[in-house]
Amino acid sequence: MLINEMKKINIKKKKILIRLDLNVPIKNKKITSHARIKASIPTIKLALKNKAKIIIISHLGRPKEGKFKKKYSLLPIVKYLKKILYKTKIYFSKKINNKIKIKFGEILILENVRFNIGEYKNNIELSKKYASLCEIFVMDAFGTSHRKEASTYGVGIYSKITCAGPLFISEIKSLKKSLKNPKRPLVTILGGSKISTKFKILKKLAKISDTVIVGGGIANTFLSINNNVGKSIHEKNFINLAQQLIKNYNIIIPKDLKVQKKTSKKIIYLNKKYNNIKNNEEIMDIGEKSIKKAKKIIKKAKTIIWNGPIGVFENINFRKGTKKIAQFISKNKTAFSLAGGGDTLSVIKMFNIKEKISYISTGGGAFLEFIEGKELPTIKMLKKRFILKKIKR
């Protein structure tokens, strides 16, 4: 791989700046999923093992630049890391500050990078300010690699040495493994509410997959080609494109569904055939026959790519389809299974199947864009820095 790797360069007793993806869900001041933090721990421990002076930066949510908002503060994450790395001194600073002195084997975590003016637009001065903090910059936030921002891209341009962390490298290798000469049958499961946000990736995956199983609002758009979908989420502007896809590729849409119907007194839940949805009904999940068909397909798969829930899994009444799909994937021990995306991570945690998925990507948008075939800005930057390093030699 034409990228400088953290594991292959000398970081011993160096001052290093690590860009991590600590963008975790927080509710009532409590972290509800620690997956991304835990995925970053090996990188931090590698730096500690080499007695480096460590500065960590990350984003959380999408706050307005230049304005501090408590709900976007990294403080809950800092407190969690202090518990996990209790033997290590960890400091927290609200400002980008060179004056805070840390010793070898200590960590300084800076406040949410998106509070800084110029972060979103990859401001040169801000990028240089980050770069001035370190001898080595480590990009290990794959989940933000599709964004050309000061803390992901600009800092890498201006740092003395720039490299990719082990999690970043692992993400790329696993994604490439799924897309280049995968073992077949290759089955893709794609859920989510909007086909518009995933149309390009759906087209790319349909081309390379033996079978694509669709769910959620994406499936509703396919169903609406020849059927009434009532009040269900679907996108009329994409019906013609969906029609072309289903004509040319093996795309499986649900044949029976679970719907809800609201009356003046209560909400009624019904099982319906795909061609019998009424105007006042809303599709919320797939039905029993569709679950059984998915089971047969997933059971035979040798490679599985999974992104997005199949139904409104947050509601216990419409969780079964997503739960069963997740379990079918986890029970296929002969397949290489790759899962990614924020909602997918929530599903994996909910049904406790983390250990049974071959690889779980921390990326959401980056995961989708990489699979789509785009060269992500940060990867482009890392390749550029690798080439410049070779020229200087």
Q: Which of 217, 308, 340, 342 is catalytic?
A: 342
Q: What distances in angstroms separate CA 322 from CA 47, 139, 206, one per listed residue? A: 39, 33, 21
Which helix (H) or strand (E) segment holds residue 217: the answer is helix 216-223
Contact 43, 165 (CB under 8 A): yes
Q: Which of 61, 105, 118, 365 is catalytic?
A: 365
Whether residue 36 lies in the annotated active site: yes
Whether residue 194 lies in the annotated active site: yes
Residue with tokens 């087209």: 203
Spell out where 230-266 has E strands.
Answer: 251-252, 256-262
Residue 74 token pair? 């990294």
Question: What is the rounded CA–CA span in Å between residue 201 and residue 273?
Answer: 28
Q: Which of 128, 194, 261, 272 is catalytic?
A: 194
Q: Which of helix, strand or coil describes residue 123?
A: coil
First to last CA, the chain: 18
Residue type, 72: Y
Q: Which of 36, 53, 114, 320 is catalytic?
A: 36
Neighbours of 369 (CB within 10 A): 18
Chain centroid to CA 374: 15
Neighbours of 160 (CB within 10 A): 11
Whether residue 230 lies in the annotated active site: no
- Taking alpha carbons only, the member of 109, 143, 83 closest to residue 17 is 109
Which helix (H) or strand (E) segment holds residue 219: the answer is helix 216-223
Question: What is the rounded CA–CA span in Å between residue 377 and residue 383?
Answer: 10
Whether residue 342 lies in the annotated active site: yes
Which residues are catalytic, by number? Answer: 36, 194, 342, 365
